[in-house]
Structures are given as structure tokens and as C-alpha cells.
Amino acid sequence: MFDANFWRELMIRLPVILIALSFHEFAHAYTAYRLGDNTPKYQGRLTLNPLAHLDPVGTLMIIFGPFGWAKPVMINPLNFRGSKRKGSMLVSLAGPLSNLIIAVIAAVLLHLVVSFDTNVFWPTFFQSLVIINIGLAFFNLVPVPPLDGSKILAGLLPYHMRNVIYNLEMYGPIILIMLIVTGAIGTILTPLIIGVYNFIIMITSIFSLL
């Protein structure tokens, strides 16, 4: 398992994962901060330093498996200016959205390095950056606590139905690990990730002509 190919892949995969997770959690923290909540600032989460955001189990899952997660950013919606529900939804959406933005930027850079650089490292690096950011974005939109999708869904549901989501919080990590280990989550998300990857590569292909 831990042969030369594994270590070469890890040299690319690890920095890509750190970039994806750091921007994802920073986007949550910064959005909450801009909405008036200083909680992420006090907890040291307004940073791109990966050490502030890594969750040991989630990081191992994404290194050795298809999906994983970082340490959730703690927020207090009561501090938000305006609608607390909309604020919570915006904070939750910010993480996946940041990953999709990085995926598009990485796709542009992928086209450029393929056009100008014959070194295999950078094309592989940027391709991994595209794929992992897309995967992280859509994985986090799965409506199982503590993922962002559960918080977005809770914001969309009528007030009396939100307890269904909240009651799942203590079982969420177990459910996620089961979905990953059984391959169920991969079966659902992989076609979507491939489709979005192909779409992003297609719309950014104009940069291959430069």
C-alpha cells in the first residue's frame, strides 16, 4: 500500500487537501465575522493556517479515502446583523462556494501550465486541486450534521421541522463514516463531481488557447 506511488501521490494530495480545507473553513469564519459575529475571530479561525482548521479524523478520511472534513467553525447567529436564519445559511454556503471558486481558478491554471510547462507535477497538482475542491464542496452539501448541507436545509425548513436536523447532530459523524466506508456517498456524488469537473474544464478551456 505504502509504495513509491503512494508517497508521490501524497506529496500532491496533502497540500491540495490543506488548501481546500483551509479556504473552506476560512470562508465560514470570514462570512460570520462580516455578518457581525466575532466568535470565529476569538477562536483563531480567521486565518488560512491549516493547523487552525484540521480535524484529525476528517483529515485522515480525505487523505486515505474519497471524502473528509475539517473542524467546524463555531458561530453564534444571535450576533448576526439582520436575519439570523439567512445569516446562518450564508455562513454555511460560503464554504462550498469558496471550494468551487478555487476549483475554477485551479482549472484556469491547469490549462495554462499544460500549454506552457512540460513538467508533469503542476498539471497533476492543479487537476487534483480542481477535483478535490469540487468533491469537498458537494460532500459538504450533503444534509447530514455537522456538514453545511444540514445547516442550509435547517434554514429552509419550517421552524417546527428543524428539530429533525438538530436531533441528528450527535449521530451525524457516525452516519457520515458509514456512508463513506460503505461507498454509498461515493456512488451518489462521484457522477456529480465528474460532471461538474468536465463542465469547469470545458468553460475554462479558452485559457488553453493563450
Cis peptide before 158, with omega less than 30 degrees from 0?
no
Report the alpha-carbon distance of residue 148 to residue 153 in Å, rounded: 9
Q: H helices of the chain, where? A: 4-34, 39-42, 56-64, 84-116, 121-140, 148-156, 162-166, 172-181, 184-203
Closest CA to 14 of 47, 44, 50, 57: 50
25 in catalytic set = yes
Q: HEC profile for 112-136? A: HHHHHCCCCHHHHHHHHHHHHHHHH
- Give the angle subtended at the CA of 54 by the CAs of 51 and 47, to the nearest 5°: 50
Which among 19, 21, 24, 25 is annotated as catalytic? 25
Q: List, in order, residues 6 or more apart from 113 with CB less than 8 Å away.
A: 119, 122, 123, 126
Residues contacting residue 101 through CB under 8 Å, at least 6 positions apart? none
List active site positions.
Answer: 25
